Amino acid sequence: MKAIFIRHSKTVFEKDTPPVNWVLSEEGVKLAKDFAKKEAFSSLDVIYSSLQNKALETAVILAKPNRIPIDTCHELTEVTSITNGIIPDYEETVRKFHEGELENINNGETIQQALDRFSKALKRISSKFPNGTVGIVSHANILSIYLSRFCSYNSYQLHKKIQMPDYAIMDYSKKKLTKLFQAL
């Protein structure tokens, strides 16, 4: 399977709304529409998306002009340590989490638990499309944790570099990245 890992587009930061309920901003919608024109998405057999609003909105915007079917997969969600509530001093707390100084945040998943969940979902998806090209719309932390195992960047470095939206391409069967995110 060829996997195209897609980070959702720009969101509206809503201080009093849980991050899992955030939606795309007007700029995020425009960026996603422009993003949908990229050649990489024209050959997708299917797009799998996290169930979070911002990922689903991005998936729909990418799928519609390219006539790509969409499916959802709860296990593609962001690390629950990041989504269980607003995180004070976000950047420093997330850095500590990625670098192992914190086991979890807000009683959420550890990095290993999130990685195991995400990896199992990818394995299931790849068994359905062993020779296909699949889009995976997800979130910066889980994508950086997963993909850092296949490149020279650690997960926090990737997290800091991934744009909204952004994508990386992997030959999943060989576990080899063929394109890292735009900013890298």
- DSSP secondary structure string, 107-131? T---HHHHHHHHHHHHHHHHHH-TT
Tokens at 38, concatenated: 């990229």
* Residue 24 located in a structural domain: yes
Closest CA to 10 of 119, 118, 27: 27
Tokens at 103, concatenated: 């086991």
* Residue 137 located in a structural domain: yes
* Residue 184 located in a structural domain: no
* Residue 109 located in a structural domain: yes
The number of domains in the chain is 1
- How much is the pTM? 0.95
User: At 23, which CATH number?
Assistant: 3.40.50.1240
Residue 184: pLDDT over 60? no
* Residue 102 located in a structural domain: yes
Range from 19-23, 25-29, 158-162 carrying the lowest mean pLDDT: 19-23
- Mean pLDDT estimate for the chain: 94
* Residue 8 located in a structural domain: yes
Domain residue limits at 111: 2-179
